[in-house]
Amino acid sequence: MRIAVVGAGAIGAYWGAAMHRGGAEVHLIARGDHLRAMREEGVRVLSPRGDFVAHPCATDDPDEVGPVDYVFLGLKAHSYPSCESLVKPLLGESTAVIAAQNGIPWWYFHKLPGPYEGRRIEAVDPGGATSAVLPPERAIGCVVYPATVIEAPGVIRHLEGTRFSIGEPSGRISDRCRALSEAMIAGGLKSPVEANLRDDIWIKLMGNVAFNPLSALTRATMVEICQNPYTRQLVAQMMEETLDIAARVGSTPEISIEKRLRGAENVGHHKTSMLQDLEAGKQMELDAIVSAVVEMADITGADAPTLRSVHAATDLLSRTCGPGASGPANTPEQQSQKDPA
């Protein structure tokens, strides 16, 4: 099995190192000091489950790799429309693309039976730009649960979680998903193949859609948001509205709002990825995590007043304090690629 990881950052390098350890031929595509360190010393994973070092191939030139069986996207979702030069050389006739992203994926309505089948979500597929680079029929959905950080170039600190749930947009349990799952399990990861992966997407999104924008607006950690009665109620309202939208597009995730709140509170003083991006002066993942949900509210006729209000405030924040804006200076820090709750 030949695999390429495009954007071998904290999650991508961790996943690629695990896959290499399991016996797959892995090519990591990265740049800068991180790339140099991985070339010279391999990927060093520091984990409560046991440290290990893997030595997959590492390059900044996908043309050196050529077509592979699977492409794992470790990029932020807003980078997808502009990643053609990185991805195209890796695509063969049957190459699958695993989109390891937060939020709503561009393929969401692909092969989803019902009134919205084939509908495009502009927030994540503007004018079809993402689909042009990453055709939905290549997509294998992936919900990422681990939390990792780049502790130093070539060094990945694995904080928690090993589960990467995967599934076809059609809901079919395909041979390509089975093979990928077996390879992940061989590398020490959990990889259930889900017929209803969209339910997993909504379960994780319940937390992301609320905690990410609120943390950016307040600069608070997840536990601080949960322990303040006013923001806890705000999160509950946003989660309730999110579940309403999910139901309108045919998903009924089996988890209570209170359980999601308890799980988030147990994470402790974690800064969400959106807050980390804001503090580092990077573009926030607003489109996939919040804007797409509000767009789906428009599509389905959901009111979602709390989501709309928080989205409006966070959108303004991104325009005034994002890359190129004349907001206050930010101090970069190592980034957790995924939110654990």
Question: So where are the chain's domains?
Answer: 2-195, 198-321
Numbers of helices and strands, H then E, in the chain? 13, 11
Q: Is 259 a catalytic residue?
A: no
Predicted confidence at residue 122, as pLDDT, reads 98
The conformation of residue 288, written as its DSSP 8-state character, comes to I
Helix (H, G, I), strand (E, B) or coil at 69: strand
Report, as ranges of residue numbers, the positions in the chain whose pLDDT lies below 50: 326-336
The predicted structure's pLDDT at residue 321: 86
Q: What is the pLDDT of residue 215?
A: 97
Q: How do residues 109-153 score in pLDDT, each as one tens digit?
A: 999 999 999 999 999 999 999 999 999 999 999 999 998 999 999
Q: Measured between alpha carbons, how far is 273 from 241 in angstroms, rounded to an integer?
A: 22
Write out the CATH class of domain 2-195.
alpha beta
Q: Which regions of 8-126 does DSSP assign to beta strands (E)?
A: 25-29, 43-46, 52-54, 57-59, 68-73, 91-100
- Res 328: pLDDT: 41
HSE-CB at 63 with a 13 A cutoff on CA atoms is 1
Instruction: List the catalytic residue out of 76, 88, 190, 204.
Output: 204
CATH superfamily of 198-321: N-(1-d-carboxylethyl)-l-norvaline Dehydrogenase; domain 2 (1.10.1040.10)
Q: Which residues pair with 27 in a beta bridge?
A: 4, 57
The residues, any chain, with a CB within 8 Å of residue 264's CB and separated by 6 or more, are 207, 211, 222, 223, 225, 226, 235, 341
Tell me what pLDDT residue 263 has: 87
How do beta strands 139-144 and 91-100 pair? parallel
- Backbone dihedral angles phi then psi of residue 127, each to the nearest 5 degrees: 65, 15
Give residue 267's pLDDT: 81
User: CA 307 → CA 166, 196, 298, distances in Å?
Assistant: 27, 25, 12
